[in-house]
Structure 1
């Protein structure tokens, strides 16, 4: 059975559901969890207004703070469930690539994550990080809808 689960989060309500479900699952199989967050890199030219208004140092501090907050939620859920948990984060333009890298680097044997839930044309055009992880990962992936 699985011994080490990677749990990426983006802070969305669906991710919160995945956190709760992953902790229940991890406890039931006595598995360890690694919480994971991917922060976007700083771009001098960006469509995100926050990036344009901030310097690179300010953006890095804000990103680190955001990662710490979201990963603390995973740690809190693990403590409540009595599950062993580590956390880490990465910076990257393509979250699915960072998720797969983190799973491999941490020796995870299952990735558990939330489905974004995009439907229709938007889902077809934009896809989702969950879909990209499913498509590219050699490690099994459990998607919470």
Structure 2
């Protein structure tokens, strides 16, 4: 059915539920598992040359956080007897990075979390999950 599952993670509790689901599905289907954590780009300001955090310090912190998130997924997969390839990617729009990686790595399913926002809050805040659902040519399993 599915041979390569991608599970994005932001380190939140709700994304941990998606990780559990993706691991269970990969194990059940004998599928390959990959994970991605998207790093924020440095917030350059045109107003001032003074930045609150030096760029390299910002990049290092973003990489540490993303790597820890990917490692947590890989460790959970390993505990379940699966290998998991992890990726950290810098992107302005996480949904684009998720869709691009899924395509580049030949994934055939994306399993991701949704915070379940509805109405005006969903409209104003947007949702990376909603954007992946809208733009991905692949099936997307949404876990709440």
Q: TM-score band (shorter)? A: over 0.9
Q: Who is 2:29 aligned against?
A: 29
Distance in 2, Cα, partners of 1:68 & 1:93: 18
> Where does structure 1 lack aligned partners over 5 or more consecutive residues?
47-51
TM-score, L = length of structure 1: 0.92
- C-alpha displacement at 1:84, in angstroms? 2.1
Distance in 2 between residues matched to 1:45 and 1:123, nearest whole Å: 28
Is the CA contact 1:36–1:71 (under 8 Å) kept in the aligned structure 2?
yes
Gaps of 5+ in 2: none
1:22-76 deviations in Å (ceiling 9; x for gaps): 1011100001111101111001239xxxxx5211100110011001110011011
Partner of 2:5: 5
State the distance in 1 between where 2:120 and 2:19 align: 28
Q: Which residue of 1 aligns with 2:15?
A: 15
Aligned counterparts of 2:21 and 2:106: Cα–Cα separation in 1: 21
| Runs of 4+ in structure 1 over 3 Å off | none
TM-score of the superposed pair, with normalisation by structure 2? 0.93
CA distance in 1, matches of 2:116, 2:53: 31
